[in-house]
Amino acid sequence: MPDIYGIAAEFRRQLLDHDRAVARELIDYYGGVYRRLQQQTDSLMRQIADARERGEEVSPAWLYRAERLRLLQDQVQAEMQRFADYAGDQITEAQRAAVEMGQQHAEQLALAGLGEPPPGVIVTWARLPRDAVTDLVGFLHDGSPLRDLLDELGPEASRAVRDALVAGVATGQNPRVIARQIRQALGGNLVRALRISRTEILRSYREASHRSYQANDDIMEGWIWHSAKDRRTCMSCIAMHGTKHRLDERLDDHVSGRCTAIPLTKSWEEILGSKGRDIQETRPQIELGADWFARQPEDVQRAMMGPAKYAAWKSGAFDLEDLVGRTRDPRWGTMRHERSLRDILGEQAGQYLDPVRRAAVEKAAATRAAGLAAAGRRAPEQAEARVRRPRSPSP
């Protein structure tokens, strides 16, 4: 049977699969929108090219004349509105599934964390009433409706397309260049929609499992920060790994973070009172990230921290937890990040950063010299000429 970390990793995979499936749907749909708008744009670009060929002056006024600009803008807006409708339905549906998933996963993780109950003890898990999670579907973090945000896509795309067109025509750009700028303006909207979708799906999931834990505070003590703990994990998440948190705290790692909250259940004594006193502890024990990091080989430590931070840490200039930075955003709440050496040490950072920079410059120079030497073996005269150049800046 997999342990609680294995289960947590599997749940995380399921959640991300769910997000990816929604993203694929949105991208597919957007593909259709995009192709239809592309035809409209192409036809307008042909008109511009033809008019220029006839010697007409293609100016912003030309665009406004005969409603050329407005027609395209109307089409963009209509297509984007259809996309927003579609995206709104898809995201809401996905949020509903994520809320369900979050609650189920919370229950299974908590029970796995609790371990086998002693004989005669039945642990019951309270399910959340339906209206305890309704605000997690169709609403954004700040409580405003999801649709409001998606509805901004249409007018925004239409404005962006107009700006690209007017600026392109006014400066006499090639229609191909203008078309490319319009494509970019439209592509930005898909990126935004995907970001909204992902953020909101993950939030619904996290919040549902969070509330689920809170509703079971007779069993739950809090949660433990669990990072991926591999070479790609940032040092802030390593420092947070294994730390214990209360039920009312949120796991506030950074955007595209890979950390999860492992439920920390109460001890059997806390749950059962004196009856539970002699029952062996079954809760998972998590080694602190700081301790884990301390026993990694030197090359791993240096690779994960980077050479300057490594040198500073080795000399005792800071502790691992000093690497955890926290920012507060009025819309998204708090978020953690890895602090820079300069942020931690101020002026003092220079003594660690400068040698590293010097070494990098020297290494680059050595690589260049090695390359020239290799080239020299092939064509001695040319290589010599190249080697000389840097020494005599004025030819």
Chain residues binding Zn ion by CB under 5 A are 234, 237
**Minimum Å distance from CB 56 to Zn ion?**
57
Q: Distance between CA 301 and CA 320 in Å, rounded?
A: 12
Name the residue nearer to Zn ion (CB basis): 210 or 339.
339
DSSP collapsed to 3 states, 297-338: CHHHHHHHHCHHHHHHHHCCCCCHHHHEEEEEECCCEEEEEE
**Minimum Å distance from CB 253 to Zn ion?**
6
Name the residue nearer to Zn ion (CB basis): 203 or 258.
258
Contact 110/263 with Cβ under 8 angstroms? yes
Task: Identify the CA nearest to 310 among candidates 12, 300, 207, 184.
Answer: 300
Task: Identify the CA nearest to 142 among candidates 329, 15, 325, 327.
Answer: 329
Name the residue nearer to Zn ion (CB basis): 162 or 198.
198
Name the residue nearer to Zn ion (CB basis): 91 or 238.
238
The CA angle 61-66-71, to the nearest 5 degrees, is 100
**Minimum Å distance from CB 336 to Zn ion?**
7
Name the residue nearer to Zn ion (CB basis): 190 or 237.
237
**Minimum Å distance from CB 207 to Zn ion?**
20
Name the residue nearer to Zn ion (CB basis): 234 or 286.
234
Contact 219/264 with Cβ under 8 angstroms? no
For the chain, what's the residue count? 395
**Minimum Å distance from CB 355 to Zn ion?**
26
Q: Distance between CA 105 and CA 125 in Å, rounded?
A: 12
CA separation (Å) from 104 to 15, 130, 209? 12, 14, 8
Residue 339, SS3? Answer: coil
**Minimum Å distance from CB 338 to Zn ion?**
6
Name the residue nearer to Zn ion (CB basis): 128 or 251.
251
**Minimum Å distance from CB 234 to Zn ion?**
3
